[in-house]
Amino acid sequence: MNDVEAAVDALLRAVGRDPRRERELRGTARRVAKALREDLLDGYGRDPKGVLGKLVPQKGEALVSIRGIRFHSMCPHHLLPYRGTLDLVYRPTRWLAGFSGLIRLVDLWAHRLILQEEITEAVARDLVRHVKASGAACRVAAEQACMIVRGPKRDGTRVVSFHFAGDLPRKEALAALGAEI
């Protein structure tokens, strides 16, 4: 049993359940550890520039916008999941990032214990830093499990965050994102 499995086993016992005696809990610690390692927290130890992959030379001044990138993440405050969509826009100067690379960049940040606002900022920042975009913006709309199952208990409430990096005019960025503030 690895450290994560042992911690999950201890958590189950701490809340009054015994995985060694309850059939439906057998293997739970292993399954949770695997989900954390492979699906929920696999964004650590990876380099944003590396996941973007090979950049393509850019000619002209096209504005690139991708909307509706679905993602999931985990809140560091409550260890509860949240999920939503991420929209991004950037103005390339010399390079274009491939669409798959942009999806991998979103997952690199989302698959961590991270606040929604931090994902929003990191993606926009990395487009300027690693793709050398003159400017970028990111919009994230997500449903936080901590707002659904505890606290205000409001299912369907979406939290929306924006971040602007570089020299992309906000009005232009918001139009490309299909958003208003």
| Confidence at residue 178, expressed as pLDDT on a 0 to 100 scale | 86
| Confidence at residue 129, expressed as pLDDT on a 0 to 100 scale | 97
| Confidence at residue 79, expressed as pLDDT on a 0 to 100 scale | 95
Q: Does domain 48-177 have CATH number 3.30.1130.10?
A: yes
| Confidence at residue 180, expressed as pLDDT on a 0 to 100 scale | 66
Residues of the chain scoring pLDDT < 70: 180-181
| Confidence at residue 112, expressed as pLDDT on a 0 to 100 scale | 98
| Confidence at residue 122, expressed as pLDDT on a 0 to 100 scale | 98
How does pLDDT run across 110-159, given as a tens digit for each residue? 999 999 999 999 999 999 999 999 999 999 999 999 989 988 888 899 99
| Amino acid at site 48 | P
For the chain, give every domain's residue range.
3-40, 48-177
